[in-house]
Chain A
């Protein structure tokens, strides 16, 4: 341990000597610090990510051991000088500059602003001047205005990945904005640190990438930039420091973690927001008072270690005060039912059977399960949330991802592996790209097992900035579409903003996100005023249905997934089925040969209060969309603790239902700390149809690419789902080669021919390999559902195919309404000079009688295009 850190330090010093030169030349002035100075970082993701690595702070504290500096990082994903959306009441949480009383402000802006290009430069300069003036003239600490350090954006790293932008355009803009910052800083008397020039050189020189996506530093990149920054602000490193740097960094990171729990507390609505009364105001003041004292204790340890002193192994937080004692407001006795008792209350239609797949009795780690998914080996992965509803100061979180396995095929789990632990309220999970995507609000994290022992070895935050104002509204209901994009949903009250290599993407007050890990493209998919859309399902032909939990509404997703520009949202949308109850959690279509024929395609919907069970609806094609009516529920329970929150067909064709199991639900009806909120239980139920054999689980793991391609013909949606996911684990060239053979071996007389071809198109999309000829074949093929799906692929390939508007003009005049709907939807994605032409083409859809959905989508597309046309005229 000790040895390694010395080597690292030596390396750092080597890099430092190469870097220091550039930075110093661009610095207006050095930063002088006094004892006890409070240094507050603000700005975008560049600033935010620094706290997760701790490199800059380590250099800082080790350089000034006696100064006892307080460093708080208020960086916030995608913040801009004049745009910093926060959930309601955040300003009362105690972390404004007035609260933080800075002596020094270090501000990282300009990256997100730079996407406005040369046209936005003047505005940026004006905004920056105003910002510098305000920051350097306001006496936040009550005595003097702070010193201000402006950090330029880092350069965009060319990852030499054909699927991700090389950043050339971005760099041209960042350079312009960096120069503007230098000018303003000079004119207005702020300290300026150019990170653009030095990082451009670093990126050019480095053999290994220093960013994760071109724009966000990886651990090594952060280390290198920390050195640049340290030297730019303070000059040469001292000849020696007293601190053990590894130890110091560990102390700093622990301090930062506790500060993170405070600053980015989840459940803000109940802490400082619109729902703080009547419960939050009772428990939270003491919790945050304690947490803030815990941060101070850790700051003390940082200072001690910086001075070379030793600190006790365990941290004494005995001085941080007591938490308020919270009593339950449930007056009636609560009976926690055993799984046997619970099962006795289950009612299923004739022929169906429910059995317990797993419970807390056999697997005590199965506490508060939330979302599940099946891996290539057919094993069930599930997130657990014992720390729900949120971190309690002083009690380390230990939520997990479990792998549950039925090794003997008796329909019951008999083996558990802990893939990951130490997580905090992981509301969603999906597997893919060699690892697991997991919600770690406010972030999306990617965890990977690198040595094959089914335990996560690496953790990487890949997307930042999902709001966490209400922890059960945070990103959830993860699912892949057939074309390899990952989706997750968030509920209302949230103001999310995420930096991407293509510019910042924002969403206010609920919606669904779409993320292409291959291309790093990320954007709101459905921006709609949902309450909390806890469910999305892509059907056999790629059409998506969405379930909104709180109100119990269900929607046909295609119609409102066209583009709207932030902060606009889609208008009121009709529901595709007659709502019976609320609230719901999770939806799925029946697609299993184990279930009766007449139920195939039925829409299943968990409902968790009042009616507790799985509702079932018969779905019908209705012109461009669908409609559904209730049929006999699949499962009804009278156990008040039974809370079905996720459901999915397993590899054996049985339906698996996650039971969150809790006598108390709802954040508003009881204190978040109500002692009757259960944290110990959790169950997974399995429903099968006894009059038919189970489905022989498909072999997905460890089979060849041609065998995987054959699985794309499987009738079960979930089998094809897992096959597609697994195919992406193989090299592009191998898959594309085998796909060619597979496609040419298909017979046009096969009734499934066009679906097979669609799978081939989706696989191209998943690998981001544009095949224009195949696309055109599918756009005009005889199967309207395939034409509709291809039209959606065209939408996402519009920047890479020739004359996309001409292609869409044909689709807008298609004889099938769903194709027209997809085309009208796709036209909403055209910007700039194309917007007017897109609008003209959209109008052509009226040549055929529109149904409700077409009318709605045309209206929504037109609204978006109208706004863009108007903006274009102003230019």
Chain B
């Protein structure tokens, strides 16, 4: 537990006093709507549904009652309080509705004693409401070195929404070179929303200080939201002389955001020494590519190309159910798509878009432009699934213009490839789903894994006992797990996994969702160099073992010594006569 500096303590104190005053008024004035009656009457575990309804209804008197409950100490359980803050945010976003009366008491929820997720949501809500008096609390959070990144990001974002000199000065201060580069990146993103010109220079400095594999997407995204901001950044980069590697990472981030804006892509491509030519292939070129794919394309090499991080393919597209989640699943793409169609899909992504992946470009009244697949829509708001997989809610009232967009697939990806690599990639895609090694497999395999990174020495040197396993592996924080995916065939590229984990011994974890209890068989091909746990217990040894599983999500964790074996494929099947029903968990 951290001590709160005294200055901030007084801030919270004022806020708490306001709470009581507001509650007193509310008690007298709020008419007993059916929802409020229910909220008062029902036990706490039943409140979330009512709270959600109040948020969706957007009636200011009901929102006030909810707000007072949310900020009052002991007013609601953590779950209900989180739901209440979300409901208030939803009312604000989709209906421009807020609680009537004073909103300053929200600051009470900035207190570090508040549940972390509630705190984060409250900070975001402060930004949505744009209440000036909450700025002080936000600035404190943003400049506090102890604030975790998500909190800081939310605070900075809220400050950017509030605007004003005090917030701008505080954000600018965090873009200076005396700050760690990760903090600078966050602050640059916030500053870009307020003053793109002022943010462009510090952004270039962050790019220059890039570390290997750094993800620039969060920092670059706000620059891409506005045309003038994109131009300001492009011009700063053009003069900034950024290293080739930084430029490549930045270009990759732009593509990962689903954007191909020429202004930025041109300067980044130049700095990255990559061609930025994007032009539809002519007939002769298509014919020659098709011929080469059939003659010399190598699907196995193509799969490696597909998996390359700089291409981002797997950020959007799943194969065999793993990764993806934004663009079409590709497990059977080759079965229905001839090679020329695939060539066009990669080089001219806008030409043919499957119906579920049609996008919208939405311009808001404040000049921002968002691009995504419509995940949900009604007369109050539109929800876009952006290329990053994130959902963005835009209130209808703020939409200035909305038109059909092209594909989220970036144009120019092919420029990252040699012709031979492109031919291999096409070959791979054209084989997916056809009979043969790339046919869809009907025996379920675990495709989506999580890897522990880094692997602690003791875990590396010896097989841990169940106690140590439970403490150091099973209970490891989510941030220590990195996603990694099996090949489309289900085989695990052990060398790659070892590289990701930076260790010859890897811990990998997959999940099985059981809906009906019963015995489930797990097969690992050979017992060499492998040790398995199902949930917290050691699994029986052997190439195939059977475990009795109850309904729910079960974790299969493997310790694999990659020096002791070359290949691994994990199949999960139903032993004959078993009553178990399950699915292997895929996705990102």
Contacts and interface: CB of A to CB of B under 8 A. Distances in A.
Interface of A: 88, 274-275, 277-278, 329-332, 491-493, 529, 531-532, 550-551, 568-569, 571-572, 578, 580-582, 609-611, 618, 620, 627, 629-631, 633, 636, 638, 640, 665-666, 668-670, 840, 843-844, 846-847, 849-850, 855, 858-859, 862-863, 866-867
A297 to B, nearest CB: 35
Interface in B440-497: 440, 442
B129 interface: no
Nearest to B45: A849
A849 B46 contact: yes
Nearest to A564: B378
Interface of B: 34-35, 38, 42, 45-46, 49-50, 52-53, 56-57, 290, 294, 321, 329, 331-332, 335-341, 344, 351-356, 358, 374-379, 383, 404, 432-435, 439-440, 442, 513, 515-516, 581-583
A611 B377 CA distance: 32
Nearest to B50: A846
Main secondary structure, interface of B, reads mixed
A264 B53 CA distance: 45
Contact of A550 (B56, B335, B351, B356): B356
A629 B516 contact: yes
A396 B180 CA distance: 74
A459 B574 CA distance: 53
Contact of A855 (B35, B49, B351): B49
Given A491-B355, A572-B375, A611-B440, A329 B329 contact: no
A610 B433 contact: yes
A630 B435 contact: no
Contact of A569 (B53, B57, B378, B582): B378
Contacts of B50: 846
Given A609-B433, A636-B442, A669-B341, 14 more contacts: A88-B404, A275-B352, A277-B351, A629-B581, A630-B581, A640-B434, A668-B352, A669-B352, A670-B338, A843-B35, A849-B46, A850-B49, A859-B56, A863-B378
5 closest A-B pairs by CB: A610-B332, A610-B433, A572-B376, A531-B355, A629-B581
B336 A611 contact: no
B440 A618 contact: no
A582 B377 contact: no
Contact of B336 (A529, A609, A866): A609
Given A568-B379, A569-B378, A844-B34, A551 B516 contact: no
Contacts of A636: 442
B49 A849 contact: yes
B440 A669 contact: no
A331 B581 contact: no
B378 A329 contact: no
Contact of A568 (B38, B353, B354, B378): B378
Contacts of B442: 611, 633, 636
B515 A627 contact: yes
A329 B340 CA distance: 7
A330 B338 contact: yes
Nearest to A491: B355
A630 B515 CA distance: 10
A618 B516 contact: yes
A862 B341 CA distance: 45
Contacts of B321: 580
A843 B355 contact: no
B180 to A, nearest CB: 39
Interface core residue of B49, B353, B432, B435 (most chain A CB under 10 Å): B49
A630 B583 contact: yes
Interface core residue of B331, B332, B355 (most chain A CB under 10 Å): B355
A550 B357 CA distance: 11
Contact of A846 (B49, B354, B581): B49
A551 B321 CA distance: 13
Contact of A629 (B376, B379, B582): B582
B336 A666 contact: yes
Contact of B344 (A278, A331, A582, A859): A278
A692 B233 CA distance: 73
Contacts of B329: 582
A585 to B, nearest CB: 13
Interface core residue of A611, A840, A863 (most chain B CB under 10 Å): A611
Given A278-B344, A610-B335, A846-B49, A862 B379 contact: no
Interface core residue of A629, A859, A867 (most chain B CB under 10 Å): A629
B223 to A, nearest CB: 30
Given A609-B335, A620-B515, A666-B336, A331 B53 contact: no
Contacts of A858: 53
Contacts of B439: 610, 638
B583 A629 contact: yes
A846 B53 contact: yes
A666 B294 CA distance: 22
A549 to B, nearest CB: 10
Contact of A867 (B354, B374, B379): B379
Given A581-B440, A843-B38, A847-B38, A618 B294 contact: no
A830 to B, nearest CB: 16
29 contacts: A274-B404, A277-B351, A329-B341, A330-B338, A332-B294, A491-B355, A529-B374, A571-B377, A578-B583, A609-B336, A610-B332, A610-B440, A611-B440, A618-B581, A629-B515, A629-B582, A631-B581, A640-B434, A668-B341, A668-B354, A669-B336, A669-B337, A669-B341, A670-B338, A670-B341, A847-B38, A849-B49, A859-B56, A863-B378
A571 B374 CA distance: 11
B338 A669 contact: yes
A843 B377 contact: no
Contact of A862 (B56, B354, B374, B433): B56
A670 B339 CA distance: 11
Given A277-B351, A278-B351, A531-B355, A638 B435 contact: yes
Given A531-B355, A846-B53, A640 B335 contact: yes
Contacts of B582: 629
Nearest to A850: B49
Nearest to A611: B440
Contact of B34 (A582, A610, A843): A843
B332 A609 contact: yes
A855 B352 contact: no
Contacts of B53: 843, 846, 858-859, 862
Contact of A532 (B338, B355, B434): B355
B340 A611 contact: no
B379 A493 contact: no
A438 B356 CA distance: 28
Nearest to A549: B355
A613 to B, nearest CB: 9
B440 A329 contact: no
Nearest to A851: B49
A855 to B, nearest CB: 6
A492 B355 contact: yes
Nearest to B375: A572
Contacts of A850: 49
B336 A855 contact: no
A467 to B, nearest CB: 14
B144 to A, nearest CB: 37
A293 B290 CA distance: 38
A846 B38 contact: yes
Contacts of A859: 52-53, 56
A581 B338 contact: no
Contacts of A571: 376-378
B294 A331 contact: yes
A189 to B, nearest CB: 38
A578 B583 CA distance: 8
Nearest to A665: B336
Contacts of B355: 491-493, 531-532, 550
Contacts of B583: 578, 629-630
Contacts of B358: 274
Nearest to B283: A278
Contacts of A274: 353, 358, 404
